[in-house]
A = this chain, B = another copy of it.
Amino acid sequence: MSSYWNERTKNLSPYVPGEQPKDRQFIKLNTNENPYPPSPKVIEAIKQAANDSLRLYPDPECTDFRKAVAQRYGVKLEQVFAGNGSDEILAFAFGAFFEKTILFPDITYSFYPVYADLWDIPYCPIPLQEDFSIQISDYKVPSDGVILPNPNAPTGIALSIEEILSIAEFMERQKKVLIIDEAYIAFGADSAVAYIEKNKNLLTVHTLSKSASLAGLRAGFAIGNEKLIEGLCRIRDSFNSYTLDRLALAGAKAAIEDYVYYDEINKRVINTRERTAKVLSELGFIVSPSSANFLFVKHPKTSGAELFANLRERGILARHFNKNRIADHLRVSIGTDDEMDKFLSACREIIIN
């Protein structure tokens, strides 16, 4: 605490990102990074952009990157917003659209309540079902907005498009915004992007951190109705006119264009996930059905904290959330086949001993 802080700063409980170890080599399965490198075309585009034009401001409208997104997803340029990772876009979206009570699951991306507190937005966490699935009727009640990740994190469980549209249509009658956070959409769930024209209150938010192997580049985008995008721009331009630098803009554009490369590596991640889930089940783990690049697991013989510590001892980092209902679980990012073999061996050792 400090007497220089205002009430907001005093009362916030900031988000704590997963550990980025510095001194020791770990098999890093804790922050859902992609185990495969970015496309060589991305690296090349960044090197090309590392030139004297860095003395000039970047394009504040991120036109070239947004054009690539618009073309790839078959939407208009005015329906695309570019941001410094999906985290920044979500922060802007909370600031742009919500002010009274909003709804999101009790178990979900733990940044949502933090954004709400930042902007002083009341929220009501809706409990997931016993099996961690989302019951859509819970969200068809009056609210100032809803945000749902699809698939949900850290559970990995996906909603169907029909379920999402049914919430969107209910909320459109109240002129309220439904945000679908599609950070993990490339790993198996169905995207709602095709429905933004029909559902004008539907905003989909995307990141290049996971599916484009670019967590270190900080780029994301949102797709939605022109008026939603304009709302995001109004907040961004009241905060920082240029949040993507020239290098990130060049790399992000190249990544969107090289979807052939990324489809291939993400298919590999999905295959590794399915194989890992199968072996974990055989070892007695309870594994939630995942459409993401991670698995949400628990084992009747160990607590989440113990399993986390035992894995860490063996040089493997997973993510443990010391929270109600999920303290016995771990979220495990999908690494390479080799990394997952080592993870599975460690699990075998821990569970059998």
Contacts and interface: CB of A to CB of B under 8 A. Distances in A.
A244 to B, nearest CB: 7
A118 interface: yes
A85 B17 contact: no
Interface in A245-269: 245-248, 251
A81 interface: no
Interface in A194-225: 200-201, 209, 213-218, 225
Interface SS of chain A:
loop
Contact of A4 (B14, B51, B56, B177): B177
* Copies of the chain in the assembly: 2
B12 A234 contact: yes
A9 B96 contact: yes
Given A237-B14, A247-B245, A3 B175 contact: yes
Nearest to A239: B91
Nearest to A237: B14
Contact of A238 (B60, B97, B117, B240): B117
Interface stretch (A37-45, A127-135, A147-155, A157-165): A37-45
A14 B228 contact: no
A233 B55 contact: no
Given A60-B20, A245-B245, A14 B54 contact: no
